[in-house]
Amino acid sequence: MRHAPPPQGHTSTRRLPCHRTALGFTLIELVVALAVMAILATWAVPGFQAQAARQEVTSDVMRLKTALAMARNAAITRRTPVVVCPLDGNTSATCSNGNDWTRPLLIKPWNDADAPALRILADGEVDSITYREDRPVRFTALGRASGYNGTFRICGRRGNAARVIVSNFGRVRVESGADC
């Protein structure tokens, strides 16, 4: 038996069967997902921390190599001695008296105390950068660092370290690992 359609303007009170669908996660699914995320996090976080520590050392090696190369090139093109040293925190263009090479690096002409800085590079990210004594690195007009050669020791977190070696000829090379 068929029902006649309702007259116009009249709504049917008869309901059609509806199917319930799940719109979220169950508690078990959430717990399993959180457990998987916790396992992945405990596996990945130490690797990320080790990578960040290696990256800090690499960044400071590049910062130091850049400063030394810029100073050497400036000495050759200007035909005057140029120095690289840690910047003194109190003044704008003076070398620091200490041996803290993590400070911003100053590149300036050697003999002219009133000369403005040629370049100042940002401070370092590692725990320590040491160079012999408290001497700056000076490049002659020929680009040599004679008498000012030595080794920078860059010590970062988690035992990451590197050495930047400046020869008497002004050339720079890098060795991984250092005694920190």
d(CA 129, CA 127): 7
For residue 159, pLDDT beyond 90: no
pTM: 0.74
User: Average pLDDT of 39-51?
Assistant: 88
93 CB contacts (<8 Å, ≥6 apart)? 106, 108, 115, 116, 117
Please report which confidence band the pLDDT of residue 32 belongs to, taking 50, 70 and 90 as the band edges: very high
Residue scoring higher pLDDT (113 or 155): 155
Alpha helices, DSSP H, located in the chain: 27-78
Is residue 158 pLDDT above 60, yes or no? yes
Q: Token digits for 139?
A: 């490049």
How many residues comprise the chain?
180
pLDDT score, position 13 = 61
Mean pLDDT, range 16-39, rounded to an integer: 82
What pLDDT does 97 receive? 77
pLDDT of residue 74: 94
Whole-number Å distance between alpha carbons of 64 and 147:
19
Summarize pLDDT for 81-105 with one digit per residue, the tens: 999 989 887 666 788 777 788 889 9
Report residue 144's pLDDT band, with 50, 70 and 90 as the boundaries. very high
- Vertex 71: Cα angle to 69 and 75 (nearest 5): 115
Q: In Å, how far are 25, 84, 93, 161, 165 from 74, measured between CA atoms?
A: 65, 11, 16, 29, 19
- CA 14, distance to chain mean position in Å, is 69
Q: What confidence tier does 11 reach under pLDDT thresholds 50, 70, 90?
A: low
Per the DSSP assignment, residues forming a β-bridge with 45 are none
Return the pLDDT at 4: 62
Q: How many other C-beta atoms can be found within 10 angstroms of the C-beta atom of residue 124?
A: 24
